[in-house]
Amino acid sequence: MHELRPTGEREAQLWDAAATVPDPEIPVISIADLGILRGVRWEGEQPIITITPTYSGCPAMDTIAADVKDAVEAAGFPRPSIDLVLHPAWSTDWMTEEGKQQLQDYGIAPPQRREASSGPIPLTLSAPVACPRCGSRNTQKLSHFGSTSCKALYSCRDCHEPFDYFKVH
């Protein structure tokens, strides 16, 4: 279960409806598991769904907002409003473990962090990134940007397959 999911029955039903929406660029992961879905609330009888883009200029946000409205209305919650929040900025730390596994199973290397030896500040791994297909760490970055801005393009030197790596941010 997702840690942001409300415990109140009405809010939980609203969350569950919004959480069914897949990311349009990575359809195997929901916006809840990706960490885009940040909250739900009611203002009187109007449902408000809060989402945060992975990047401030993410081209998928209009589609996600429309899909969330459709899913929430289909679940019986009329006239939903989408609250797009840019602060705090989205982080890969908001992804669920299930979401990271879904990325892996789909062929996208999930974000990886390591702890700094002198303290608890997370550092981005520069290499090696494990190949999601064969598990090899004999990989190389081909481009800082992959199929979307949030991913980098890598290649596996063992199975010779290219793959996306979901960058830490």
Cα distances (Å, whole numbers) of residue 120 to 110, 113, 168? 21, 11, 16
Question: Where exactly are the structural domains of the chain?
Answer: 9-92, 107-166
- Whether residue 64 contacts residue 23, with contact meaning beta carbons closer than 8 Å, is answered with yes
| pLDDT at residue 56 in the model | 82
Long-range own/partner contacts, residues 85-92 (CB < 8 A, 24 or more apart):
85/38, 85/50, 85/51, 85/52, 86/52, 86/53, 86/56, 88/52, 89/52, 89/56, 90/35, 90/36, 90/52, 90/53, 90/54, 90/55, 90/169, 91/35, 91/169, 92/35, 92/166, 92/167, 92/168, 92/169
CATH classification (class only), 9-92: alpha beta
| pLDDT at residue 103 in the model | 96
For 9, the token pair is 């029955």
| pLDDT at residue 143 in the model | 95
| pLDDT at residue 116 in the model | 46
Query: How many other β-carbons are positioned within 10 Å of the β-carbon of residue 164?
Result: 21
Spatial distance between the Cα atoms of 39 and 32, rounded to a whole number of angstroms: 9
Task: Indicate the pTM of the whole model.
Answer: 0.85
β partners of residue 22: 30
Low-confidence residues of the chain: pLDDT under 50: 115-119, 121-125
Chain segment 34-51, per-residue pLDDT in tens: 999 999 999 999 999 999
- Whether residue 119 contacts residue 23, with contact meaning beta carbons closer than 8 Å, is answered with no
| pLDDT at residue 133 in the model | 95
Over its C-alpha atoms, the chain yields an Rg (Å, rounded) of 17
Helix axes 61-74, 9-19, angle to 10 degrees: 130
